[in-house]
Each structure stands twice: as C-alpha cells, then as structure tokens.
C-alpha cells in the first residue's frame, strides 16, 4: 500500500554521491530531536516543482510550494551544500535529425511552434538547452550523402537535408531559445577520402566501414572548417564537434572506422585547422560506448588519445574532453575516465529507446532512464546529456535501411501529424532542463543527511543563485521531505516510482 509519510515521523534524507549514480542505504528510524532556534517564517517566495510518475498520473505537472526561512524542525530533510562543488553544466537536449525535422515540418505551424516553445523556452517551457546534429548523413537522413560527394573541397555544399529541414527547424528553436548549444558529428567522411586500410591505402567506395586515408587528414579537417562556416552563414553557431560518431562501429548505414591510433593524428590536424581559422568550437573525442565495443586495444580510448597528443600541439586547448553512448558497458566508465583525466570534460551524447527495451512503456523506462541516462551520468561528471531523435512518427520513421529500424523518438507523432506521445526520454531530459540552467554548478548535500532506499538525486546552484534538485524515487512508497539550502526550506512529496525536479 502506498502511503504519504508524515514529515515529522521517519528520519530520511539524502547524501549526494560524488560519483556513483545509485545512492542507497538502510532506513534509519531512530527518533531525533527537533532543531533548536527560531520558528520557520514565510519568505513570500515559492519553489517551483515538476513531478512525473511512471504510472502517468503526473506528467511534468507543475506545482508551487511556499518557501520558509528559519529552522525547519523536521528530521526528514534534504540539505543541499554549495560548499561541495563539482562540474558546471552545459545543458540537456535531443538529436535534431532529418527525420525529426521532417515530422516537425509536417505539423501545422502553430502546433509545431507550441511544441517547440514548450520544449525549449526558458520562460514558457522546459528550457531544453542542447541539440545534436550530424555533419552529412546519419541513419535518420533521407539518403546516404556527405557534404562533398565529388572529389575536391571546392565541391563542398550543404545538402537538402540541411537546407530544407534541419536548418529551418534549428532557426525556429534558436528563435525560441538563442542559448541552445549545438554539437555536430559526422557518420562518415566523403567516400573519396576512404581507404580499406591505412597501409595500402586502397580506395574503399562504400558508405559503410572503411578508414580515413591519412593523405586526406588535412582536407578532412578543412571539411569541418567549411561546415562550421556554412552553418555560421545561416546564423547557426556550432558549439562543439566530435571527430567521428561511433568510431568503432563498422556496421551502421553510414560509418567510418577510426580507432584511437587514427583519431589521434586526425584530431591534431582538426585542432590546428580550427586554431588557424579562428574557430573556438570545442572538440570531444570518441563519441561511442562505455565498453569500447569490447575491442581490447581500444579500452580507455580517450585517455590513449590524450596521452598520444600531449598538450603542446596547435589548438590543444580546443580538445576539451570526450563523449559517450550507452549501447554497451556501464556508466561507471565515466568515473574511471574522469579519474585518469580530471582536467578533461565529459558529456553523454546518445541513448535510444525502442522495441528492444520497451521504449514506449513509461512505467518501465522512467526509472531506468532517469537513473542511468541523466542522473547516473551527471553524478559521474558529465556536463551535458543528450538523447537520440527528438521526434519520430508512430512507424519509427522515416529512417534508412541499415540504420535503426526499431527506434522510438523521445516523442512519437501520429501519422496525421497532430497527436504527440511523449516517451521517457522526453521526460528525463525535461526534468533536468526545467530546473538546471546552463552554467549551473553541481553541488553536494551536507553530511548531516542520511540516505533513503530507492532515492537517486543531484543538486545544483544556478548562475542566478537559485538552487535545484532532481530526485528519483524508485521505491513503492511516497516520500515526504523538506528540502533546504541551510537558510530556506520547503516541503514536497516525492511520489513512489516518480521523479521530482525543484527550483527555489
């Protein structure tokens, strides 16, 4: 039976883990004396709270709670601690693919605007703040293509996927939230730059697999420069790139095999080209799975690239960190990489839902995705969290042969392009972005707090001085708690099998 626990009964609270995504211990039921001192007084301010439950009873429901000052007199208290400081946050977001844009542009303009405003607006919506796009095609494009299919960089051009779909949608998003950051990655280089191996340099005329010809590393770096310049001409700044999406994946519909031994020299060329052209775009290495696709000599791929490059090459300051996906291995790899390279950044750049993981079942996916995709990566030093397609249709498309035929979108849209169904990935990203603003700093929870089984959480201080907490309750009982910053506090209920995001 689910019950609301009295705020003056069971002593439960939180101790934020600085690394692990799971925070659990036995419940301490020992009675404790109330705090001594002044009685709580209303401040005239309110906390904003968003709540989602796995059973769908609440779906990003917004409520307000009165904020008090003075001692809260409650043993069941979550106390954020700004003295414990971890990484600053860049944001949370979705991939904006051709398929996403195709579906969005099929909507009525006013309905599309309403959806994008609800998603991206910092004042009228959830404030989603990051987007991922491809450089050339991906497995949710209209066809296989690069931005320079004919040999020679003079033939570089944006394709119709960009000019008619992705760029118009990005402009609509940026009009709503100009602060949205954009990261871009190629699925493949142009085919004329490919070889079957880097020793014989035999040409490899295929969209799938192959290696970048070492003789074309400088040209391929200029390909990135041209892409960034072309997007800037459209009013779109590219905040970051990765040299290759899933560099150890040979089987995608468009792919390029780029082990660390080959990414390292290309990154040196890329950073140098950016530096010489006055480009400040960040470079994130790797962009693939926690387990490095179980290839022995590719383990800890980013660290091997850092070590191979050192810190003295031109543009080295632009190589800021590495990006990860979750299609293999465990997110504890993030902490391992942070420990080995604490001066480098980490981001989580892709996760998918689909038929294989019951992706439209919110009661199953909300807890798992909140724990592993968002809180589990943020609590292990990730500055940003992005998931795959923002929107697909109810038939999981449009998509390409050879790509994912079983993926769902963060939202799915009906075939009349009117009814939107939000899936777990929409909720987990929105729960973070709704209260955690770009440049927020992840902070801790004071040592006086205890831990409640089933709770996973993160705490932040935003640039404007507000505090934020995001708490997951995977237990079968509601938890009633006071949330405090040491000076002000408010009361909230964290529902069973639910998520609560708070800002005050």
Residue 347 to residue 215: CA distance in whole angstroms: 31
Check residue 24 and give its pLDDT.
34
3 state SS of 131: strand
Ramachandran region of residue 109, left (φ > 0), alpha (ψ -120 to 50) or beta? alpha
Residue 290 to residue 108: CA distance in whole angstroms: 40
Joined tokens for residue 235: 């009013």
Residue 430 to residue 60: CA distance in whole angstroms: 8
Check residue 36 and give its pLDDT.
40
Q: How far apart are the first and last CA of the chain?
A: 32
- Please state, as a whole number, how many other Cβ atoms lie within 10 Å of the Cβ of residue 200: 8
pLDDT tens track, the chain, 504 positions: 333 333 333 333 333 333 333 333 223 333 333 344 457 888 899 999 999 999 999 999 999 999 999 766 666 678 899 999 999 999 999 999 999 999 999 999 999 999 999 999 999 999 999 999 999 999 999 999 999 999 999 999 999 999 999 999 999 999 999 999 999 999 999 999 999 999 999 999 999 999 999 999 999 999 999 999 999 999 999 999 999 999 999 999 999 999 999 999 999 999 999 999 999 999 999 999 999 999 999 999 999 999 999 999 999 999 999 999 999 999 999 999 999 999 999 999 999 999 999 999 999 999 999 999 999 999 999 999 999 999 999 999 998 888 899 999 999 999 999 999 999 999 999 999 999 999 999 999 875 554 566 789 999 999 999 999 999 999 999 988 889 998 999 999 999 999 999 999
Residue 152: exposure state from Cβ atoms within 10 A (0-12, 13-18, ≥19):
exposed
DSSP 444-487: EE-TT----TTEEEEEEE-TTS-EEEEEEE-SSS-EEEEEE-SS
Class of domain 90-433: alpha beta
**For the chain, domain boundaries:** 41-85+441-503, 90-433
3 state SS of 261: helix
- The phi and psi torsions of 270 (rounded to 5 degrees) equal -65, -45
This prediction's pTM: 0.91
Kindly give, in sequence order, each residue whose CB lies less than 8 Å from that of residue 307, ignoring residues fewer than 6 positions away: none
Check residue 30 and give its pLDDT.
31
Residue 475 to residue 247: CA distance in whole angstroms: 39
Residue 447 to residue 19: CA distance in whole angstroms: 16
Residue 158 to residue 145: CA distance in whole angstroms: 10
Residue 150 to residues 98, 147, 221, 390, Cα–Cα distance (Å): 22, 9, 17, 31
Kindly give, in sequence order, each residue whose CB lies less than 8 Å from that of residue 223, ignoring residues fewer than 6 positions away: 135, 147, 148, 153, 156, 189, 190
Q: Which helix (H) or strand (E) holds 43?
A: strand 41-53
The b/e string for 246-274 (b: 16+ C-beta within 10 A; e otherwise) is bbbbeebbbbbbbbbebbbebbbbbbbbb
Chain centroid to Cα 232, Å, comes to 23
- SS3 for 64-110 is EEEEEECCCCCCCEEEEEEEEEEEECCEEEEECCHHHHHHHHHCCHH
- CA-closest candidate to residue 144, choices 98, 183, 184, 195: 98
Q: Is the peptide bond before 398 cis (omega within 30 degrees of 0)?
A: yes
The b/e string for 236-245 (b: 16+ C-beta within 10 A; e otherwise) is bebbbbbbbb
Same fold, 41-85+441-503 and 90-433: no
Residue 396 to residue 468: CA distance in whole angstroms: 35
- Please state, as a whole number, how many other Cβ atoms lie within 10 Å of the Cβ of residue 193: 23
- CA-closest candidate to residue 34, choices 72, 78, 60: 72
- CA-closest candidate to residue 251, choices 333, 188, 200: 188
Architecture of domain 41-85+441-503: Sandwich (2.60)
3 state SS of 63: strand
Give 259's Cβ-side CA count (13 Å radius).
Answer: 10
Residue 121 to residue 451: CA distance in whole angstroms: 34
Residue 320 in contact with residue 284, Cβ under 8 Å?
Answer: yes
Report the helix count and the strand count for the chain, using DSSP H and E.
Answer: 11, 24
Joined tokens for residue 202: 């035999």
Residue 334 to residue 319: CA distance in whole angstroms: 17
Chain centroid to Cα 412, Å, comes to 19
Residue 375 to residue 350: CA distance in whole angstroms: 14
């Amino acid at each position: 039976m689910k019950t609301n626990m009295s705020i003056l009964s069971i002593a439960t609270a939180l101790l934020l883990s600085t690394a692990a995504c799971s925070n659990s211990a036995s419940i301490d039921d020992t009675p404790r004396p109330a705090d001594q001192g002044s009685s709580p007084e209303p401040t005239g301010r309110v906390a904003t709270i968003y709540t989602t439950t796995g059973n769908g009873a609440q779906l990003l429901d917004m409520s307000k709670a009165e904020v008090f000052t003075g001692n809260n007199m409650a043993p069941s208290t979550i106390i954020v601690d700004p003295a414990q400081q971890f990484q600053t946050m860049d944001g949370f977001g979705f991939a904006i693919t051709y398929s996403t844009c195709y579906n969005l542009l099929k909507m009525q303009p006013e309905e599309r605007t309403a959806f994008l405003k609800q998603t991206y607006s910092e004042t009228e919506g959830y404030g989603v703040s990051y987007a991922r796009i491809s450089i050339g095609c991906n497995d949710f494009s209209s066809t296989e293509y690069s931005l320079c299919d004919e040999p020679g960089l003079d033939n570089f051009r944006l394709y119709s996927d960009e000019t008619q779909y992705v760029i118009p949608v990005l402009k609509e998003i940026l009009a709503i939230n100009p602060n949205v950051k954009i990261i871009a990655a190629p699925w493949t280089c142009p085919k004329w730059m490919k070889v079957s191996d880097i020793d014989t340099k035999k040409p490899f005329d295929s969209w799938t697999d192959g290696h970048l010809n070492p003789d074309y590393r400088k040209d391929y770096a200029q390909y990135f420069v041209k892409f960034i310049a072309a997007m800037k001409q459209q009013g779109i700044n590219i905040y970051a790139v990765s040299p290759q999406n899933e560099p150890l994946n040979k089987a995608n519909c468009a792919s390029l095999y780029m082990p660390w031994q080959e990414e390292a020299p290309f990154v040196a060329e890329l950073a140098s080209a950016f530096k010489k052209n006055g480009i400040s775009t960040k470079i994130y290495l790797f962009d693939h799975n926690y387990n490095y696709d179980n290839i022995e000599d590719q383990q800890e791929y980013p660290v091997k690239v850092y070590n191979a490059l050192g810190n003295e090459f031109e543009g080295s300051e632009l190589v800021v960190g590495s990006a990860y996906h979750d299609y293999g291995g465990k997110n504890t790899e993030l902490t391992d990489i942070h420990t080995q390279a604490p001066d480098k950044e980490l981001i989580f750049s892709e996760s998918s839902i689909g038929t294989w993981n019951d992706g439209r079942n919110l009661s199953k996916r909300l807890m798992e995705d909140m724990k592993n995709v968002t809180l589990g990566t943020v609590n292990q030093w990730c500055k940003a969290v992005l998931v795959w397609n923002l929107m697909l249709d109810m038939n999981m498309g449009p998509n390409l042969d050879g790509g994912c035929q079983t993926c769902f979108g963060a939202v799915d849209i009906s075939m009349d392009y009117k009814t939107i169904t939000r899936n777990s990935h929409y909720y987990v990203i929105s729960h973070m972005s709704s209260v955690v603003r770009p440049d927020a700093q992840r902070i801790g929870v004071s040592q006086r707090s205890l831990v409640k089984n089933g709770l996973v959480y993160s705490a932040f201080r935003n640039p404007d001085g507000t505090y934020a907490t995001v708490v997951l309750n995977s237990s079968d009982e509601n938890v009633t708690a006071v949330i405090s910053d040491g000076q002000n506090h408010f009361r909230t209920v964290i529902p069973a099998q639910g998520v609560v995001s708070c800002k005050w």
